[in-house]
Amino acid sequence: MNSTGRRDQKATASAPKTRKRAVVELEDATELSRAEEWQRAQAWGTWEKIKAGDVEEVTIAQLREDARSVMAGPPPRSVRRP
């Protein structure tokens, strides 16, 4: 077999991996886009509450307790695919 034939075989063999990688990248990009949209909506909602004066005061002790609670909880789930 000549070198062109071997290259064609390698390219053919790697095509499914390349397609799978492209699909995973597209899925990741879609997931990131959704997360960014959610985050933006949360930020705007919070901003609207602040402008309306509809927010509670939080003490530093409450913030520290919440941080301890989060740190002691289960680790976040990974959204990456193998």
pLDDT (0 to 100) of residue 78: 67
**Amino acid letter, residue 24:** V
Q: What is the DSSP string of 17-41?
A: HHHHHHHHHHHHHHHHHHHHHHHHH
Neighbours of 5 (CB within 10 A): 9
User: What pLDDT, in 10s, does the model give residues 52-80?
Assistant: 988 888 899 999 999 999 899 887 676 56
Reading the block at residue 59, the tokens are: 């003490």
Tokens 């095509």 sit on residue: 15
Residues whose CB falls within 8 Å of the CB of residue 80, separated by 6 or more in sequence, listed in order: 28
Instruction: Give how far the C-alpha of residue 40 lies from the chain's centroid of Cα atoms, to the nearest Å.
Output: 14
pTM, 2 dp: 0.43
